[in-house]
Chains A and B, each alone.
Chain A
C-alpha cells in the first residue's frame, strides 16, 4: 500500500452515509424516530389447521388444473388439425391457446398462492452497505492500477501511448467503410420516374390504358405507367415513384398557372400520388370538395388549385404529370414529372 492511499484510509476511517454531502437537504434534529417494523399479523393458515389444509388442497388443485390444461393443449394439437377451411385455424388456435393458458396460469397461481398462504410471511430486515468499496478495497484497487501503470509505463512512455490512441482511433474505420456497399449512390434516380413522353396512363394494377372519354367528372383513376407489371425487376421501386392519381373536374373551376395550362386535358389532371411529406400514398379523393387527403399524417391538398397544401404537415404541392391524348384517344404523359416526386430531400431543387 502506498503512503498516499494509506493516508486516505486513515483520514476517512470507518465510512458512513453521513460523510456524504447532504446538499440542500435539511436535517431535522428532532425528526420523528423510526418505530421499527410493524408487528407481524398472524394469518388464518398459521392459526388453523383446517385453513392450512384447505390452502394445501387449493395449491394442489391449481397444479392439477395446469396438468389438465397442458394435456388439453396436447390433445388439441392433434384433435384440431388445420386444413383448407379457415375455421379449423380458429379452432386450432382457440383450443391450443386455452390449454396452454390453463397450463401456465395453473402453475403460476398455484405457486403464488403457496407462497402467500403457506410460506412464512414475516418481514425481515437486512443491512445495506454503501455501494462504494471499503477504503481498504479502494486503496488496494488504486495500488493495482498504479502498479500496472508502473510496470507497463503507460503514463511514462508518451510515444507508445499516443501511437496506441492513434491506432485505436483508426482501426474501426475499415470496419465502417465495409458498410458503404450496403447501398449504391442513388445518383439521379430520385429525380426520374418511369414516365416518359408518350407513355400511356394505365390502370393500377392490371395495366389497361385509359381513354380520356372514360374519365368522367367525379371519378378517380389510380394510374401506373404502361408496361409496369408485377414480378418485373424494379417493379416496386418504379411504382413507388410513378403512382399517379387521375381525376377529371369541371375545367371552369380548375385554377392553372400559365406554365401548366397545357398540362391538363379537358379538365383531366394527373398528380403524383406520393405525399411530399414522408411519402405515403395520398389517395383519398373527396369528389365534392376536390381535396386529396393523406391517411398517414392528414396532409390535405387542393386538387383544383395545383394540389397546394391546405392542411397538415406537408409543405410542397404534389407534383403534376403533364398529360395529353394520343391518336387513339388514350391518355399519355407529355413528359416525366418536372420535379422529383415524394418526400423532400436536401438537394432536390439543385439542377443536375
Chain B
C-alpha cells in the first residue's frame, strides 16, 4: 500500500484519483481482473452493442420526454400553435405530445430520436439474434443466455408497443382498438381481460396512464434486469470467436479491453447515438399532428403498427375468410386465435431451439468457436425458413402499401401472401440447405487440392490439367475447422426397449446430418499433395525431354 502512495506522488492526478477510488471501492481488483480481458473483433459481434446503445439512447431521450408528457385521457380543447387542431377536442396526453413537438425547443428532435432508436433497438436485437443463431453461438454453455436474449427481444416489442400507444392519436388509438379486439376474441376470459386492461369499456380513461406506467417503469426495469443478466453471462462465458488459425474452444483471441476495446466500444456508442441523431434530424417519424386526437369513428388508410409488431398484424391479415365458428351459443374466434397461436408457437420454437439441437446432437461439450453457417446446413436452412416465415408475415402487414405502390390488386397480394406463408419457408429451407452443402463441397475441394492457379498444362499422354496451388496453412485451417456430426440409430435402453424419444431423436439426427460433408483431414490433404507432386514431376520430365 505504501507503494501506491509513492506512485501517487510520481504520476500526479490520474494515479491520485485511482488510488482514492481503489481505497474506497476496491476497483483495483476489478480492473486487474477485467482490464485486459480479451474481446474478439468482428463487425457482426457489434450488433448486440448497437441494441444496448440504442437502449441507452432510449433511456436518455425518454427521460427528457417524461418531463413534458402528461399521460391523462381527460378531454381538453387544444389551444396550442398547430393551427389545424386549434379548438379541437383531444386528450391531455395528445395535447402534451403536440406541445412537446411544437412548443419545446428540441422537443420534436427528442421525440424523433426516441422513436427512431426504438425501431433501431428492436431491429438490432433481432439481427443480433439472427447472427447468434446462424453461427451457432447459442450452443453450450450459452443456451440460457439465448433465452435471456429472447426475453429481451420480446420485452423490446412490449416496450415499443406501450410507447406507440401513448400519444393517444388516431393511429395509436386504432392500434389499441385492434389489441382490444384480439383480447375479446380469447375464449372465456377475453372480455374480462379487456375490461381489466382498459378499466371498463374501450377506450375508457385509464389505458394511457396504465401503459405509461408499464412503458416508463416496469418494462424498462425488466429490460435492465435481463440486460444485466445477459451481460453478466457474457463476461462469465467470454465472447465466442469465429473459427480460424489460433482460435480454439479453449481460448479467446482478440484485443484487450483496455485500451483498444474501451476506445472502440466507447467511440461506437457515440457513433450509434450520432447516427440516430442524424436520422432524427432529417426524417420525420410518426407525424402525430396529421392524425388528430383519438376518435373511435375515423381511421386512416395505412393504419399499421411499428415494424416489430408488423408480423403479428400480418398474421391477423392472412387468416383465411370465415373460419370463426360457434359451439352451441359460444363463439370461437378462430380468425384471431389461429394467428395468435401460430405466432406464439413460432416464438416458442425460437426460444427452445438451442435445447432441441443440443438434444439431437447430444454434444455436451462447450462450444466457443462459431460455426460458419454453411458448416451447419440444416440449422442454417431452418433459420432461413424461419426468417422467410417471419418475413412473409411482416410483409403481410403492408399488403395495402404493396398493392398501391406496385400497382397490384390488394386481394391478389393478400392471397399470394397466404400461399407464400406455406410455400416460401419450405423453398427457403431446401434451397439454403443445398447452397450450404455446395459451399461445403467447394471448401473441401479447395482444402484438399488447393486453389486453382489458372495454369493449364498438357501432359505427355495428352491429358490437360490445371495446376492447383496449395493453400497457406492459415487459410487452410479456416476451411477444415468445423464440427462434424453423424446421424444415429435408435438404440434400445437398459430395459431393451426402443423408446419413442429414442426413435424421435434418431429420425431428427437423420434429418439434421443425413447429408454430411466431412471436413478434409490431414491424410487426405497429404495424399492429394503427393499426387500433385507426382504430376508436377511428370510435367517437369516432359519439359526436360522436349528440350
A and B co-occur in one complex? yes
Say yes or no: B102 contacts A104, CB within 8 Å. Answer: no
Q: Indicate with 1 or 0, residue by residue over A305-318, a CB within 8 angstroms of chain B CB atoms.
A: 00001111111100
Say yes or no: B399 contacts A93, CB within 8 Å. Answer: no
Residues of B near A101 (CB, < 8 A) are 274, 277-278, 281
Chain B residue with Cβ nearest A237: B201
Least CB distance from B434 to A in Å reads 22
Q: Which of B21-29, B122-130, B375-383, B472-480 makes up part of the contact surface?
A: B472-480
Residues of A near B477 (CB, < 8 A) are 32, 34-35
Bound-state Cα–Cα, A241 to B254, Å = 62
Residues of B near A34 (CB, < 8 A) are 245-248, 477, 481
Residues of A near B421 (CB, < 8 A) are none
Bound-state Cα–Cα, A241 to B297, Å = 9
Chain B residue with Cβ nearest A82: B105
Say yes or no: B280 contacts A97, CB within 8 Å. Answer: yes
Partner of A104, one of B277, B296, B485, B488: B277
Q: Indicate with 1 or 0, residue by residue over B36-57, a CB within 8 angstroms of chain A CB atoms.
A: 0110000000000000000000
Residues of A near B447 (CB, < 8 A) are 32
Q: With A28-B521, A315-B335 in contact, do A121 and B255 touch (Cβ < 8 Å)? A: yes
Say yes or no: A231 contacts B89, CB within 8 Å. Answer: yes
Least CB distance from B46 to A in Å reads 11
B326 within 8 Å of A (CB atoms): yes
Least CB distance from B97 to A in Å reads 14
Say yes or no: B522 contacts A30, CB within 8 Å. Answer: yes
Bound-state Cα–Cα, A231 to B186, Å = 32
Q: Which of B64-72, B265-273, B347-355, B422-430 makes up part of the contact surface?
A: B265-273
Q: With A33-B522, A230-B89, A236-B295 in contact, do A280 and B174 touch (Cβ < 8 Å)? A: yes
Partner of A82, one of B103, B195, B368, B521: B103
A295 within 8 Å of B (CB atoms): yes
Q: Indicate with 1 or 0, residue by residue over B233-258, a CB within 8 angstroms of chain A CB atoms.
A: 00011100000111111111111100
B180 within 8 Å of A (CB atoms): yes
A22 within 8 Å of B (CB atoms): yes
Residues of B near A183 (CB, < 8 A) are 194-200, 204, 206
Bound-state Cα–Cα, A17 to B365, Å = 6
Q: Which of A43-51, A107-115, A145-153, A321-329 makes up part of the contact surface?
A: A107-115
Bound-state Cα–Cα, A349 to B331, Å = 7
Bound-state Cα–Cα, A275 to B188, Å = 21
Say yes or no: A111 contacts B246, CB within 8 Å. Answer: no
Residues of B near A103 (CB, < 8 A) are 274
Partner of B267, one of A110, A131, A190, A243: A110
Say yes or no: A37 contacts B363, CB within 8 Å. Answer: no
Number of interface residues of A (CB under 8 A): 114
Say yes or no: B269 contacts A278, CB within 8 Å. Answer: no
Residues of A near B521 (CB, < 8 A) are 28, 30-32
Q: Indicate with 1 or 0, residue by residue over B257-300, a CB within 8 angstroms of chain A CB atoms.
A: 00110011011111111110110111000000000001111111
Q: Indicate with 1 or 0, residue by residue over B293-318, a CB within 8 angstroms of chain A CB atoms.
A: 01111111111000000000100111
Bound-state Cα–Cα, A231 to B259, Å = 61
Say yes or no: A32 contacts B280, CB within 8 Å. Answer: no
Bound-state Cα–Cα, A103 to B271, Å = 10
A4 within 8 Å of B (CB atoms): no
Say yes or no: B181 contacts A343, CB within 8 Å. Answer: yes
Say yes or no: A32 contacts B263, CB within 8 Å. Answer: no
B519 within 8 Å of A (CB atoms): yes
Say yes or no: A346 contacts B191, CB within 8 Å. Answer: yes
Say yes or no: B520 contacts A32, CB within 8 Å. Answer: yes
B336 within 8 Å of A (CB atoms): yes
B-contacting residues, A242-286, CB 8 Å: 243, 273-275, 277-281, 283-284
Q: Indicate with 1 or 0, residue by residue over A7-51, a CB within 8 angstroms of chain B CB atoms.
A: 000000000011011111110101111111110000000000000
Least CB distance from A127 to B in Å reads 6
Bound-state Cα–Cα, A182 to B210, Å = 10
A330 within 8 Å of B (CB atoms): no
Say yes or no: B267 contacts A278, CB within 8 Å. Answer: no
Least CB distance from B527 to A in Å reads 11
Bound-state Cα–Cα, A101 to B264, Å = 18
Say yes or no: A281 contacts B297, CB within 8 Å. Answer: yes
Chain A binding surface SS class: loop
Q: With A24-B486, A313-B335 in contact, do A283 and B299 touch (Cβ < 8 Å)? A: yes
Least CB distance from A38 to B in Å reads 5
Residues of A near B120 (CB, < 8 A) are none
B534 within 8 Å of A (CB atoms): no
Residues of A near B105 (CB, < 8 A) are 77, 81-82, 92, 96
Say yes or no: B260 contacts A119, CB within 8 Å. Answer: yes
Say yes or no: A347 contacts B181, CB within 8 Å. Answer: no
B364 within 8 Å of A (CB atoms): yes
Say yes or no: B295 contacts A205, CB within 8 Å. Answer: yes
Q: Indicate with 1 or 0, residue by residue over B473-504, a CB within 8 angstroms of chain A CB atoms.
A: 11011001101111110000000000000000
Least CB distance from A336 to B in Å reads 16
Say yes or no: B252 contacts A23, CB within 8 Å. Answer: no
Bound-state Cα–Cα, A25 to B250, Å = 18
Least CB distance from B279 to A in Å reads 9
Residues of B near A231 (CB, < 8 A) are 75, 89
Say yes or no: B252 contacts A278, CB within 8 Å. Answer: no
Say yes or no: B270 contacts A107, CB within 8 Å. Answer: yes
Q: With A17-B250, A84-B81, A190-B191 in contact, do A295 and B300 touch (Cβ < 8 Å)? A: yes
Chain B residue with Cβ nearest A124: B38
Bound-state Cα–Cα, A94 to B248, Å = 50
Residues of A near B201 (CB, < 8 A) are 186, 189-190, 234, 237, 240-241
Say yes or no: B303 contacts A131, CB within 8 Å. Answer: no
Q: With A278-B177, A343-B184 in contact, do A205 and B400 touch (Cβ < 8 Å)? A: no
Residues of B near A83 (CB, < 8 A) are 81
B507 within 8 Å of A (CB atoms): no
A298 within 8 Å of B (CB atoms): yes
Q: With A105-B274, A313-B319 in contact, do A28 and B108 touch (Cβ < 8 Å)? A: no
B190 within 8 Å of A (CB atoms): yes
Bound-state Cα–Cα, A72 to B506, Å = 66
A130 within 8 Å of B (CB atoms): yes
Say yes or no: B303 contacts A349, CB within 8 Å. Answer: no
Residues of B near A275 (CB, < 8 A) are 181
Q: With A26-B486, A30-B521 in contact, do A105 and B474 touch (Cβ < 8 Å)? A: no
B362 within 8 Å of A (CB atoms): yes
Least CB distance from B343 to A in Å reads 14
A-contacting residues, B129-184, CB 8 Å: 141, 174, 177-178, 180-182, 184
Say yes or no: A26 contacts B484, CB within 8 Å. Answer: yes
Q: With A20-B366, A295-B299, A349-B329 in contact, do A236 and B181 touch (Cβ < 8 Å)? A: no
A98 within 8 Å of B (CB atoms): yes
Least CB distance from A245 to B in Å reads 10
Residues of B near A109 (CB, < 8 A) are 267, 271
A297 within 8 Å of B (CB atoms): yes
Residues of A near B273 (CB, < 8 A) are 104, 108
Say yes or no: B254 contacts A124, CB within 8 Å. Answer: yes
Say yes or no: A28 contacts B364, CB within 8 Å. Answer: no
Least CB distance from A125 to B in Å reads 5
Say yes or no: A26 contacts B485, CB within 8 Å. Answer: yes
B185 within 8 Å of A (CB atoms): yes
B440 within 8 Å of A (CB atoms): no
A319 within 8 Å of B (CB atoms): no
Bound-state Cα–Cα, A77 to B483, Å = 58
Name 28 A/B residue pairs within 8 A (Cβ), A-sorted.
A21-B362, A24-B362, A28-B519, A30-B523, A32-B521, A35-B246, A82-B102, A89-B108, A92-B105, A92-B106, A97-B280, A102-B274, A119-B259, A120-B260, A124-B253, A125-B252, A182-B197, A183-B195, A183-B199, A183-B204, A186-B195, A190-B191, A237-B201, A239-B296, A280-B177, A297-B313, A345-B333, A347-B331
10 closest Cβ pairs, A-B complex: A23-B362, A97-B281, A278-B181, A111-B267, A108-B270, A37-B246, A104-B274, A315-B324, A108-B271, A183-B195
Q: Apart from A89-B102, A124-B255, A284-B301, what are 12 other A-B pairs with CB-CB below 8 Å?
A: A20-B365, A20-B366, A23-B363, A24-B487, A25-B363, A35-B473, A124-B38, A128-B238, A239-B295, A298-B414, A313-B321, A348-B331
